[in-house]
Amino acid sequence: MKNAARILTVIGLADGGLLGMAGSMVAQQNLRSFLWAIDGVGVIVATCLLTIRYFRKGNDCVAAGFLVYAIGEAVMLGGTAGNLEASVPSFAAGTALWSAGLLLTGAPREFRLWVRTASMVAGILFAITSLKIFWGQLVTPIARPLPYFAYPILVLTFAGWIWTVLKAD
């Protein structure tokens, strides 16, 4: 991975983890939307770069996982500017795609076991979140216990991806 792409990937994932968590903890809607918008763009850039990296390495499943994750993040970004209740449809679609992307990146043995485990657990928790919404429950992006407690596991996954990028030649 070229140096600029590596730097942008790390910044995008770190930004996504930090600002995404911060956005889920603030009460002001405009500040939450602002934090999530920056988070979303950073994660989309990072996961698109990771898509290219793993596609070039010949790991199509992991590459597809990052691509699906990026699409899910983009779908969610569309609902970020609205209030929490208005964002639920795009959040449901986004978490479904996040789940698929996380499971695709976690299933192959490309990453360390702890990274794959975090990815798979986060994928399952976001699948549950999405299914609950599609089943008719009103689950906002900051609802507890899910998705609120799934975010730290997602950030742990991001940390594992960052670690993998930084240790790569």
Instruction: Give the model confidence (pLDDT) of 141-155 as tens digits.
Output: 999 999 999 999 999
**Tens digits of per-residue pLDDT, 89-140?**
999 999 999 999 999 999 999 999 999 999 999 999 999 999 999 999 999 9
Q: What's the pLDDT at 81?
A: 86
Q: How far apart are CA 155 and CA 95, in angstroms?
A: 15
Q: What's the pLDDT at 11?
A: 98
Q: How far apart are CA 94 and CA 68, in angstroms?
A: 10
Containing H/E element for 143? none
The answer to whether 96 and 127 are in contact (CB under 8 A) is: yes
Q: What's the pLDDT at 169?
A: 64
SS3 112: coil
Q: How far apart are CA 107 and CA 45, in angstroms?
A: 22
* pLDDT bracket for residue 74 (50, 70, 90): very high
- Name every residue whose Cβ is closer than 8 Å to that of residue 33 and which is 6 or more positions away in sequence: 23, 80, 81, 82
**Closest Cα to residue 147, out of 88, 79, 67?**
88
* pLDDT bracket for residue 1 (50, 70, 90): low
Q: What's the pLDDT at 36?
A: 97
Q: What's the pLDDT at 82?
A: 82
pLDDT over threshold 70, residue 163: yes
Mean model confidence pLDDT for the chain: 96
Q: What is the mean pLDDT of residues 160-167?
A: 97
> Quick one: DSSP state of residue 149?
G
SS3 26: coil
pLDDT above 70 coverage of the chain, percent: 99
